[in-house]
Amino acid sequence: MYICVMGNQKLFKGSLQTIILKLLAQNDKMYGYEITQKVKELTKGELKITEGALYPALHKLEADGLLDVEVAKIGNRLRKYYKLTEHGTKETANKLAEMQEFLKTMQHLVNPKFSLE
Amino acid sequence: MESKYQITAKQLAFLDRFLKKYNFGSEDDKIELKDHIISDFETNGNGNLSQYLSEELGFINKFIGSKLQVIHKTYRRKTIDEAIGFFTSIKKLPITVAVFLTIYFLTINLNGKTLIILFYVSVLSFFTYSQFFLNIKKKDRKKLDRIEYLGQEMWLPYIMLVFPLHIATTTDFDFINSVFFSVYWFVAIAYSFAAIRVMKKEKKIIYNKYKHLLN
């Protein structure tokens, strides 16, 4: 399963990378499990990112040079943190702008009288 | 994040043995996988690690598989982009044209046997360099998938070595179109060169990014 949502999961497909980038832009650095929990918390359980979807997305973003990694010793184990690179910060702004544009267009289509503009 | 359970030293040792026994990925993978398993187990588990691991086996396998897929795809895309750059970059284009013309000149002027030998020497030189002279330590390959799969894109030139061998043993070389052979030789060399350039660039990035793991 890609992302598990209480509503229609198809609507959230394709937005996973944007969600991850946005969270990292707000939180400086985060580790995988923390991202899944943060999304759950922010959406009050409406959206749950499965680990099977999260890690491939993180690895892809890292391979594309959008994320940097940092390893720190936490208690009895090592933890891999992800943070945005300079390129990743720019790409986050682009992806968020794209998302806003998409939402605006959808708003025009779905509810023309109460569009965001 | 609230933990309802704290993993014990005994369970931690069991997890280490489990990941080692089933050889789940490189050291880098194990760091991330182990941290995820412990975090989730401490938050949602019922205290039985063995049962938890059996339930999560699907995810663990997928974790490694999908990561390797991402690495392969990324190297392939970067190598293709690098090769395309030989034609689209104003700086590189004259060299690209000069190399192709040299290959074409050799193809129309040399006899079949010499040509096949030259083809093998040139492509194998790139291949040997990529596999043995990039100074990548054997122990580093085990630590990081990104290093282990760094030379994978040399598969195409390596496969391309088979066809001329087939021609040399079964067909008279005069039957082979010289333009076709020039393009074939050129693609093998260009792709090898692109793969080596990507390997060098990636090696530099990896050793800088993962110095915590490799030093």
DSSP string computed for chain B: ---S----HHHHHHHHHHHHHTT-S-HHHHHHHHHHHHHHHHHH--S-HHHHHHHHHHHHHHHHHHHHHHHHHHHHHHHHHHHHHHHH-TTTHHHHHHHHHHHHHHHHHS-HHHHHHHHHHHHHHHHHHHHHSS---HHHHHH-HHHHTTTGGGHHHHHHTHHHHHHHHHS-GGGS-HHHHHHHHHHHHHHHHHHHHHHHHHHHHHHHHTHHHH-
One domain for residues B99 and B201: yes
Q: Is B48 among the domain residues?
A: yes
Q: Is B1 near chain A, with CB under 8 Å?
A: yes
CB contacts of A69 in chain B (<8 Å) are 209-210
Radius of gyration of the CA atoms of chain B, in A: 24
Instruction: Residue B93: give the domain boundaries.
Output: 68-214
One domain for residues B82 and B50: no
CB-CB contact of B174 with B112 (8 Å): yes
Distance from CA of A34 to the nearest CA of B (A): 8
Average pLDDT in chain A: 85
Q: Is B4 among the domain residues?
A: no
Q: Is B60 among the domain residues?
A: no
Q: What is each CA distance from A30 to B80, B106, B203, in whole angstroms?
A: 32, 57, 25
One domain for residues B196 and B149: yes
Q: Is B2 among the domain residues?
A: no
Q: What pLDDT is recorded for position A2?
A: 46
CB contacts of A77 in chain B (<8 Å) are 12, 31, 34-35, 38
One domain for residues B72 and B40: no
One domain for residues B183 and B92: yes
One domain for residues B99 and B141: yes
One domain for residues B124 and B195: yes
At A37-58, the pLDDT tens digits run: 999 888 888 888 888 889 989 9
One domain for residues B190 and B92: yes
Q: What percent of chain A has pLDDT over 70?
A: 85
**pLDDT confidence of B197, banded at 50, 70, 90?**
very high
One domain for residues B101 and B18: no
Q: Is B46 among the domain residues?
A: yes
- In chain B, the residue whose alpha carbon lies closest to the alpha carbon of A74 is B35
**A7, pLDDT greater than 60:** no
- B2 residue type, one letter: E
**B138, pLDDT greater than 60:** yes
Q: What pLDDT is recorded for position B169?
A: 66
pTM: 0.77
One domain for residues B175 and B147: yes
Domains held by chain B: number: 2
CB contacts of B215 in chain A (<8 Å) are none
Q: Is B163 among the domain residues?
A: yes
**pLDDT confidence of A88, banded at 50, 70, 90?**
very high
CB-CB contact of B7 with B38 (8 Å): yes
3-state SS, residue A75: coil
Q: Is B108 among the domain residues?
A: yes
Q: What pLDDT is recorded for position B93?
A: 95
**pLDDT confidence of B122, banded at 50, 70, 90?**
very high
At B142-180, the pLDDT tens digits run: 777 777 778 788 888 888 888 777 766 666 666 667 888
Question: CA-CA distance, A76 to B8, in Å (whole number)?
Answer: 10
At B18-76, the pLDDT tens digits run: 888 776 667 888 889 999 999 999 988 888 888 988 888 888 888 878 888 888 888 89
Question: CA-CA distance, A88 to B129, in Å (whole number)?
Answer: 33
CB-CB contact of B126 with B192 (8 Å): yes
Q: Is B63 among the domain residues?
A: no
One domain for residues B94 and B136: yes
CB contacts of A71 in chain B (<8 Å) are 31, 212-213
Complex prediction ipTM = 0.82
One domain for residues B106 and B144: yes
CB-CB contact of B155 with B65 (8 Å): no
3-state SS, residue A35: helix
Distance from CA of A85 to the nearest CA of B (A): 11
The contact set of A with B (CB < 8 A) is 31-34, 37, 51-52, 55-56, 59-60, 63-64, 68-71, 74, 76-80
Distance from CA of A80 to the nearest CA of B (A): 6
Distance from CA of A116 to the nearest CA of B (A): 35
CB contacts of B66 in chain A (<8 Å) are 52, 55-56, 59
Contact (CB<8Å) A71/B212: yes
